[in-house]
Amino acid sequence: MDIEQHPFEPFLPENARMLFLGSFPPQPHRWSMPFYYPNWINDFWRIIGLIHFNDKDHFCIIKEKRFNEQAIKDFCTQNGLAFYDTATQIRRLKDNASDAFLEVITPTDIPSLLQQIPLCTTIVTTGQKATEVIASTFNCPIPPIGSKINISIPISQNNIVRPIDFYRMPSTSRAYPLSLEKKADAYRILF
């Protein structure tokens, strides 16, 4: 099985206060845009639309079954939301987008990302695999779904440590057995 390299650059607005980390993007044929949470049937952008605009379709171009990438990037830049994933290289053990069948080959260098966004005080994982990678990387417990723990992350060779709120949120995949409204209720605590 081939090793896949992450297809996107980290999205790190200089005012970012919150870093969202998934596991890894699905295969390109599942994308509705070349940006984070690209799968049309993933609920992430509907959750954000519901929370901030009381409209699950705020970021949707429904007739084209795609998300409005520019509107999403503008919103995230204005609101200090950064995005990447917890793996830069993976192997898919089955030909699907399920985290259960992702083997992380190279985890992301999270301290390096945090160095680029000095105002960031919060990391949010959006699924089980991403949560497990963070817990393993920083040798910390896994927070219950919808809650946070405080961790300290060394961000330089000078042993500078940054306190971080580490939130574990429910998966935004439709496979996760929770309604869109209940997922939005869980994510609302972040904002």
d(CA 63, CA 69): 15
Q: What is the structure's pLDDT at 93?
A: 84
Mean pLDDT, rounded, for 51-78: 98
Read off the pTM: 0.94
- Where on the phi/psi map is residue 127: left (φ > 0), alpha (ψ -120 to 50), or beta? left
The pLDDT tens digits for 77-97 are 999 999 999 999 998 887 766
CA dihedral 151, 156, 189, 31 (to 10 degrees): -120
Counted residue by residue, the chain has a size of 191
C-alpha separations of 36 from 3, 101, 136, 151, 157 in Å: 20, 19, 23, 25, 30
Query: What does the DSSP assignment read for the chain?
Result: -PEEEP-S--B--TT--EEEEES----GGGBSSSSSS-BTT--HHHHHHHHHHS-TTTTEEGGGTEE-HHHHHHHHHHHTEEEEESEEEEEESSSS--GGGEEEEEE--HHHHHHH-TT--EEEE-SHHHHHHHHHHHT-PPPPTTEEEEEEEE-STT--EEEEEEEE----STTSSS-HHHHHHHHHTT-
List domains and CATH numbers for the chain: 3-188 (3.40.470.10)
Nearest residue to 132 (alpha-carbon basis) of 93, 91, 104: 104
The pLDDT tens digits for 92-144 are 887 766 677 788 999 999 999 999 999 999 999 998 999 999 999 999 999 99
Mean pLDDT, rounded, for 45-52: 98
Per the CB < 8 A criterion, the answer to whether 119 and 145 are in contact is: no
What type of residue is 85? D
Q: What does the mean pLDDT of the chain come to?
A: 93
Q: What is the structure's pLDDT at 158?
A: 73
Positive or negative torsion for Cα 97, 98, 104, 106: positive
